[in-house]
Every structure is written in C-alpha cells, then in structure tokens.
Amino acid sequence: MRQLVIAERVCLIGHIVSMVFGLVGILLVVPNAEVIMNLTEVGQTVMQWSMAGGGVVYMILGAAAVFLYAYRTLGLGRALAFMLPSVFISLGSELSGTSTGFPFGHYSYLSGLGYKIAGLVPFTIPLSWFYVGCVSYLLARAGLEVDKKPSLWRHIGAIALGALLLTSWDFVLDPAMSQTSLPFWYWQQPGPFFGMPYQNFAGWMGTGALFMTVAALLWRNNPIKLERSQLNVPLVVYLSNFGFATVMSLAAGFSIPVLLGLLLGVGPAVALWWKGTNGQAVAVEPATQEISVAQVKVALK
C-alpha cells in the first residue's frame, strides 16, 4: 500500500509540475520566440520536448494519479467501473462531435495532444474526461452521503453535481485553449460564449451525466464514505486543473468564464470537500477482499 501511495503522489506532483511548465511555455515562451534562442542547447531541447509532448504528459499523469487514488480508496473493481465508461463514452461523444457536430458543435483538434484516434480525437482527451470527471463525481457523492445512506435522489443529485463541476471546469478551459497563441482545437462555427457555442456545454453536461450514471449503476448501492483528508486528492486535482484553465483564460482576457467557474465549480467543490466525514472511511471492496484472503489462509491450515 505504501508503494501505491508513493506512485500516486509522484504522478500527482508530476501532473501539477507539467501543467505549470506548460503554462510557462504557452504564455511566455511561444509568444516570445527570442526567449528560446537565448536558452542553452539543453534548454532549447527541453522546450521543444515540452511543446511537442507536454500536453500529453500532464494528462497521462493526471489519469494515472486519479486511477491509483481510486484503486487505493475504492478498490480495483470500482476504479475500473468508473474509468472504462468515462473513457469510452467520452470518446464516443468526441468522435461524434468532431465528425458530425453533435453533441458539442462543429470543432476540430489540432496537434499537441498526442496521437489522434480515427484521425479525429487525441487519445489523451478521454483520459482528461476520466480524471476530472472522477474527482468531480467523488466530491459530489461523498459530500451528499455524509452520515446518510445512498438513495435515488442522492444518486441523482451526485450525478447532477458531478456533471456540473466537470462542465464548470470547461467554462474556463475551452475558450482559452482554443484561442491561445498555440491553440489545441478550433471551432468551425464559433458561438456567443467567448467563441463557444452554448451547445458545447449542454454536450459536456450530458456526456458527464451519462458516464457518471453508468458508473453509479455499476457501483450499485454501496455508500461512498471518505474522510475529509481522503478527499484531499480529488480536491487538489480539481483545483489545480481549474487553476491551469484560469491562468489561461485570464491571460486571454476572459474573466467572466473564470467568475462563472468559481461560482458553479470551485465553490461547490470546496463545500462538498468540507462536508466530508471526519469518521472512519468505509472501503467496501478492499474489505471484502481482505476477508476472502483470510478465509483461504484458514482453509490452507
């Protein structure tokens, strides 16, 4: 378990460092090409690598950190039961969006985010849906189930809140990432929300709610009881990614999306984290595994 925690922390720190390094490159280096020319040979090599693969690295590390966290706190079964639906459903939505315009609108991905599946969607994009979607849903689910049993309305509330947290991140991220000096995607039909069509956010809410619903069904009715300290990783992942998007948006002159994201995303996320129980966490699946191992040992004797 200790090695698992170490690996999780290394991935999380690497994820955050990669985002900071990416911000420096996108906001300072790219607009000022002379900066690269003044670097040493090693520095130029590092910057070239960062521009070519920095976005890929931070998404892979983010997905790895969140998967290890979910495996450690919830068990392998529930970690996979969230990751697989989120990756495949979001990939389906993205492939549909980039080829038909539904459900997000008409857009295309540029280079910088890795190999494109079917020549349309970078393989890292479904990973980002997974790790931000997972922490959003866990914050919502754990916050709503404090000292209470799961119920239909709490399930619906957790899915709605989780999808809202996920979409609030996109309020801030999407306008900036498509309009920087080094854009990662572009809209063929720009919309009224700082270049984004409103349809895009409906697509985000719908896609997030869909894979969270599938995960909730696969998790069945087991409660998610996590101590507040155990919700630190989801909160850090959410806030760090929101911070990345915020810096990008403010640099582009977009303050309203940031304020909207703070109101609908950061505020609820912190409130849900604060509601996390201070009691003993319940990890249903790992506990079951430990009992079965104990029974095998007795049988062998």
Rounded to an integer, the average pLDDT of 5-25 is 91
The residue ranges of every structural domain in the chain are 75-300
Asked if 105 and 187 touch (Cβ cutoff 8 Å), the reply is: yes
d(CA 260, CA 265): 8
The mean pLDDT value of the chain amounts to: 86
pLDDT value at residue 289? 41
pLDDT at 54: 63
DSSP string, 201-255: HHHHHHHHHHHHHHHHHHHTT---B-BGGGGHHHHHHHHHHHHHHHHHHHHTT--
pLDDT for 243: 97
pLDDT at 149: 78
* pLDDT one-digit tens code per residue, 84-139: 999 999 999 999 999 999 999 999 998 878 899 999 999 999 999 999 999 999 99
Share of the chain above pLDDT 70, in %: 82
> What is the reported pLDDT for 8?
98
- For the ranges 8-12, 71-75, 113-117, 178-182, the lowest mean pLDDT is seen at 178-182
Tens of pLDDT, residue by residue over 134-182, are 999 999 999 998 777 778 899 999 999 999 999 999 999 999 888 876 7
Per-residue pLDDT of 27-46, as tens digits, reads 766 556 566 666 676 665 66
Percent of the residues in the chain that have a pLDDT greater than 90, as a whole number: 63
Per-residue pLDDT averaged across 242-260, rounded? 94
Query: Do 135 and 234 contact (CB within 8 A), yes or no?
Result: yes
Q: How far apart are CA 144 and CA 45, in angstroms?
A: 48
Say if residue 299's pLDDT is above 60.
Answer: no
Distance, CA of 138 to CA of 86 (rounded, Å) = 14
